[in-house]
Amino acid sequence: MDNAILYAPWRNDYVAGEKIEGCVFCHISSSAGNDEELHVLYRDEHCFVVMNRYPYTPGHFMIIPHHHTDALEALDPQTWLHISVLAQKGVRMLKEGFGVHGVNLGMNLGKAGGAGIAEHIHLHLVPRWERDTNFITSIAHTRVYSTDFEKIYRRLKELSKEYF
């Protein structure tokens, strides 16, 4: 079998890009003037909605409270309810506006729970389509991102004006 090369140029920022000191989500929370650069879809006084820079599928985004905590049980109940409302709106946007067939919702709490950024809770919304996985995910443990990240961000940003 020949060796295959998969190119993922958007990951270069992860490897060689500028590193943010402290919590990346707190940085985004406090940087409202840079929403386009940071790929924020929506923000209000309780939360913000931001694209996942290393998505599982096209359109993967997260809902994140401004309040820095690693403990869901310590989050103000009103903020948790607000996250739930935003999740409903996000699912509706993905289904009606983006044409997805399903959505995975999830929170990985703590490093042992699988959180990549364990210090600040966040809810993932992962768009799914029928037959959206293929053999390469199974045999090579590799995901193929089939479309341009910036193009998806611009589309969802426009949709977010209608849905959030």
Task: Tell me the catalytic residues.
Answer: 122
* Residue 39 Ramachandran class (φ > 0 left, ψ -120 to 50 alpha, else beta): left
CA distances to 2, 82, 105, 149, 158 from 7, in Å = 16, 38, 28, 14, 28
Neighbours of 85 (CB within 10 A): 13
| Cα–Cα distance for residue pair 160/123, rounded to 1 Å | 17
| Cα–Cα distance for residue pair 100/108, rounded to 1 Å | 23
| Cα–Cα distance for residue pair 108/115, rounded to 1 Å | 5
| Cα–Cα distance for residue pair 146/143, rounded to 1 Å | 9
Residues 6+ apart with CB under 8 A from 127: 57, 58, 59, 60, 94, 98, 100, 102, 103
